[in-house]
Structure 1
Amino acid sequence: MNLHQFRFVQEAVRRNLNLTETAKALHTSQPGVSKAIIELEEELGVEIFARHGKRLKRITEPGEHVLKSIELIMREVGNLRRIGEQFSAQDSGTLSIATTHTQARYVLPVPVAKLREAFPKVNVSLHQGSPDQVARMVLDEVAEIGIATESLTQYEDLVTLPCYEWQHMLVLPAGHPLTKKENITLEDLAQEPLITYHPSFTGRTKIDLAFAAKRLHPRIALEAIDSDVIKTYVRLGLGVGIVAEMALRDDGTNSDLVAIAAGPLFGLNVARVAFKRSAYLRNFVYKFAELLSPTLDRATIIKAMEGRKHADEI
């Protein structure tokens, strides 16, 4: 048995048992993938996949156990590579970060710039996606660290830590009637067309739950994944915006809008960082985590990686 066979099996599972897609992803031929998997099965004496003709239909019971072992082996192979990189080039390499648009646009620029100052030979690769995509990129080792608010705690093989708390903000054009109210309620907002995030992004779940708890049915006029898009449509008068407070930094670009804290209405959110369980983290990964939050020191991360899945303290 060899690592090529393990990779073929792993990728076949990732590609929903489609050998054509598996071969494309691995830049090889479909017959070659099929042959390698069969040879591994023959060597192990068990079928990893049940078949219908030449097609893979499902993972067998012994196959599930084989996949768990392959996952452990391939994880350690990745760790060996990172250990080699760490000690052959202590201050160089690539830091791959998976995150959402809001984090990439408003939170990460300063930590990334400071990391580049500390490690000028380290390149940074940003991968943007939905929270579920962020989690998957960390699990698939496309990224070493993931940063998002939703979904990260739902994955068994991710270790997550709280990074910082944040609240939503109401964004209104100057002169909007709600800007004159001392205390805006959920009932007030339910009467307005709302412009906010897509349900899988940036704390949208908290917004929906707050309205549901009051048995209110808000009018969502527009959903987006980009805070700047939300603000643009607010300026056009399409409705009241609900955005993350990070998107309202004091840089002069939001001076035409009125921002009102909505934490009392929707509660606080926690942005979290995620690492793949048992991954070997290089020095500059720890440094980047420290730049994100003073609570993310090296000792805390190591303790979390060795212990509980998700740490809740912040």
Structure 2
Amino acid sequence: MTLKELRCLLAIVEAELNISAAAETMHASQPSLSRHLKLLEDELGFQVLARRGRSIAGITPAGQEVIRLARRIVNDVGNIRAYAANVRGEGAGELNLTMPQTYARHLLPPVLAILTKRYPQLDVRIHHLGEGEPTERLEDSRADMILLSTAGDRVPAGISLPLFSWKRVVMVPRVHPLASLDRPVTLVELARHALVTYDASRRPDSSLRRVLGQAGLRARFACSAQDADLIKVYVRAGLGVGLVGELAVEDADREEFAVLEVESSLPECVAWALVPSGRVLRDYTVDLIRLLAPQLPADDIRRAIDGSARPLWPPPRAWDAGYADVGEPRLGRPPTRTTLNHLPQQSTYLG
């Protein structure tokens, strides 16, 4: 039994039993993966993956246990290699990030520009996650880190690091009646108009629908999407009032649209970094977290991941649309306690 065989098995499982997709991930041929899988099953003496004709139909009961053990073995070997690379000060490697399109498009470019200057041999791979879309178990995926957002008092399960807070803003054409307001848009005014916003806001448990419901109001949706840039297209076409994250608003948008704040009863959102437990993070992964959240100590990040401590994290800094020349995000708004006051007691925030 070889490490290569176990990796091929896990690649097939992570590709939802699609050998062609797994082969592409492994940079190998489909016959090669099939051969490694056969060698593994021959040595075990039973099938790990059930077949239907020439296709894979599922995972056998015995295969479930083999996969669990294989993940642990592959993870342990990866941890040894990551630790050794950190000790050697090696900067080459592969960083797999999963996040919504809004973060990939509007947040990450200047941060990655700083990171890749520090680590010129770093290979970054970005995988798409729909806004508000549930995530798989991080330990079962190839991701080194997942970026996502929650609103109000919601804290993601697992090892979750609070990075920064951000607000939702209204975006309308300059001829729209709301464009003349010199104050935040009220919930009543939001409820009067058809909204163009993220798909996640349509869910019955979304913070938008919850806050409107508490005020005796109801959201009316004209259109929704997972991509903020697509929302802008629909607002431009006159479908309705846009409601997007402030980090998706660019200078050109402010010239074309009126961008307005919403009354404070609509809770701010918090950006989180989800990291896998029990995994040795490469130095460049910790550096990326600290570029996004300089207030988080590197030692606390490592201790939280290896399970030796549960740090009390400082409040997330407020996001601002710019980055300082010194290489840290410029987070202009002062840290807010609005969200922190409503966090559950088991929160890992300091406060």
d(CA) in 1 for partners of 2:105, 2:258: 21
Gap runs ≥5 in structure 1? none
Q: 1:284 to 1:11 in 2, by over 3 A?
A: closer
TM-score normalized by structure 1?
0.78
Counterpart among 33, 36, 39 of residue 42 in structure 2: 39
Counterpart in 2 of 1:195?
196
Q: 1:40 to 1:18 in 2, by over 3 A?
A: farther
Instruction: Return the offset for 1:241.
Output: 0.7
Q: How does 1:38-117 map to 2 (within 5 A)?
A: 38-42=41-45, 48-49=48-49, 57-117=57-117
Kept after mapping to 2: 8 A contact 1:95/1:122: no
Counterpart in 2 of 1:123?
122
Deviations 1:256-289 (A, max 9, x none): 4222222624312111112222222122222221
Q: How does 1:161-240 map to 2 (within 5 A)?
A: 161-178=161-178, 179-180=180-181, 184-199=185-200, 205-214=206-215, 216-240=217-241
d(CA) in 1 for partners of 2:139, 2:296: 20
Kindly, what percent of the aligned residue pairs are identical?
Answer: 26
d(CA) in 1 for partners of 2:122, 2:134: 19
Instruction: Return the offset for 1:99.
Output: 2.3
Counterpart in 1 of 2:247?
246
SS of residue paired to 1:75? helix
Q: 1:303 to 1:228 in 2, by over 3 A?
A: same
TM-score normalized by structure 2?
0.71
Kept after mapping to 1: 8 A contact 2:5/2:37: no
SS of residue paired to 1:273? strand
d(CA) in 2 for partners of 1:65, 1:200: 38
Instruction: Return the offset for 1:54.
Output: 7.1
Counterpart in 1 of 2:13?
13
d(CA) in 2 for partners of 1:125, 1:50: 34
d(CA) in 1 for partners of 2:75, 2:245: 35
Q: How does 1:247-262 map to 2 (within 5 A)?
A: 247-249=248-250, 251=251, 253-262=253-262
SS of residue paired to 1:258? strand
Q: For residue 5 of structure 2, what is the amino acid of its counterpart?
A: Q
Q: For residue 300 of structure 2, what is the amino acid of its counterpart?
A: T
SS of residue paired to 1:149? strand
Between 213-222 and 260-269, the greater mean CA deviation after superposition: 213-222
Gap runs ≥5 in structure 2? 312-345
Which fold has the larger relative contact order, with Cα–Cα distance below 8 Å and residues 6 or more apart in sequence?
Answer: 1
SS of residue paired to 1:289? helix
